[in-house]
Amino acid sequence: DQQVKQNSPSLSVQEGRISILNCDYTNSMFDYFLWYKKYPAEGPTFLISISSIKDKNEDGRFTVFLNKSAKHLSLHIVPSQPGDSAVYFCAATLWSNTDKLIFGTGTRLQVFP
């Protein structure tokens, strides 16, 4: 039972344009959502997070939006750069167990010149 879903396995975007990565979830008890970025042959690195009590969090070129009624979050990257090409994982934690992350299946983003 996949509680965190990333339905687009891949996304291709031109440099300078906006990249939008989507994530859907089923469990209304999630209290925090995180995005991780993973380059090949490296471990994932934390990118940005958002609490379930907020609807937006911004950090430089990265903004995460949370729509709780739709159980949907999205990561916007503006402007996209070739160095953003990586696999992006959405993850969530439960109120009852904040130590464990539940990951989505990932979206491979390719930014081309």
Partner 1 sequence: DVKVTQSSRYLVKRTGEKVFLECVQDMDHENMFWYRQDPGLGLRLIYFSYDVKMKEKGDIPEGYSVSREKKERFSLILESASTNQTSMYLCASSLPGTSGNEQFFGPGTRLTVL
Q: What is the dihedral of CA 31, 91, 109, 76, to 10 degrees?
A: 10
How far apart CA 43 and CA 47 sit, in angstroms, is 13
Q: DSSP 3-state assignment of 82?
A: helix
What is the Cα–Cα distance from 57 to 46, expressed in whole angstroms? 14
Q: Which is nearer to partner 1, 80 or 93 (CB)?
A: 93
Q: Which is nearer to partner 1, 7 or 14 (CB)?
A: 7
Beta carbon nearer to partner 1, 15 or 31: 31
Q: Site map for partner 1, 76-105, x if CB under 8 A? A: -------------x-x-x----xxxx-xxx
Could you say which residues in the range 18-77 bind partner 1, by CB under 8 A?
Answer: 31-32, 34, 41-46, 49, 51
CB of 95 to partner 1, least distance (A): 8
Structure tokens that stand for 48 in this block: 């940005």
34 contacts 44 by C-beta, under 8 angstroms:
no
Q: What residues make contact with partner 1 under the rule CB under 8 A?
A: 6, 9, 31-32, 34, 41-46, 49, 51, 89, 91, 93, 98-101, 103-106
